[in-house]
Amino acid sequence: MTGPLQYIDLSQPSLWIAVGSILFNPLFWNIVARQEYRNKVLTRLAFNNPRWGCYALAVTIFSLGILRDHLYHRALAEQPQLPFLHYTEFKLLAIVLFAIGGTLVVTSMWALGVTGTYLGDYFGILMDHKVESFPFNVTSSPMYTGSTLSFLATALWYESPVGILLSVLVYIEYQIALSYEDPFTAAIYAKRESDRAKGKGKQVSPDRSVTASGGSSVRASALRNGATYREL
């Protein structure tokens, strides 16, 4: 086979498994989080403790992310390489992109905490102050941006055209996820403010108690970008 298709081996099962994992993760956490918000499914399973439910979801999302990354690496290892990407400059670019992506992800998690990162707002663990410091002063969705850059960095390191295509898939998927997560998260906080204004609803201590991306909590997203609020 000649032309661009010679660098894509569609016969490898590992490629389709990686695609499935990439597509599954945001779909999973959005469905589960909305079920929690509407029906308190995880809270009930966690002995009516929303924080435990959120921690359980956090462990699940994190584990699925590790599995997805492993499947992605395995898929790239079994795909043809593009000689043009063998230049040292691309290796250096991969290192830079990975460093930037990792920094965005880690600092986002540090700023939001576990519940802010992993959809705590869907459990009613709401934050009180919007986080506007780094990395949220660079990008509104640092978890998703950082994750996408890490995918691209890995593709360049493996000299893999397929990896670049999968990185584009990750970017598109995260943008679609944000289009659902951001409005939903905004509605959660708008309801909280409306209840406060009316003197109704429970007064929530964002750091301890409870009353509900991604955007975006994950956020990822794999998210939580809309829930860019710092816990007290």
Reported confidence tier of residue 207, pLDDT bands at 50, 70, 90: very low
**Domain housing 176:** 11-230
Domain-embedded: residue 40: yes
State the amino acid at position 102 in one-letter form.
Answer: G
Domain-embedded: residue 209: yes
Give SS3 for 199: coil
Domain-embedded: residue 152: yes
> Does the structure show a pLDDT above 50 at 221?
no
Domain-embedded: residue 2: no
Highest mean pLDDT among 45-59, 121-135, 186-200 belongs to: 45-59
In the numeric block, which tokens belong to residue 49?
């403790």
Q: Please tell me the predicted confidence (pLDDT) of residue 4.
A: 72
Domain-embedded: residue 171: yes
Q: Please tell me the predicted confidence (pLDDT) of residue 193.
A: 86
The pTM for the full model equals 0.82
Domain-embedded: residue 223: yes
Give SS3 for 190: helix
> Does the structure show a pLDDT above 80 at 226?
no
DSSP-derived secondary structure letter, 130: E
Q: Please tell me the predicted confidence (pLDDT) of residue 128.
A: 81
Q: How far, CA to CA in Å, does 42 sit from each of 37, 56, 198?
A: 9, 8, 29
Domain-embedded: residue 4: no
Number of domains in the chain: 1
The CB density around residue 83, as the number of other CB atoms within 10 Å, is 9
Query: Which residues, at least 6 apart from 172, have a Cβ–Cβ distance to it below 8 Å?
Result: none
Q: Please tell me the predicted confidence (pLDDT) of residue 199.
A: 78
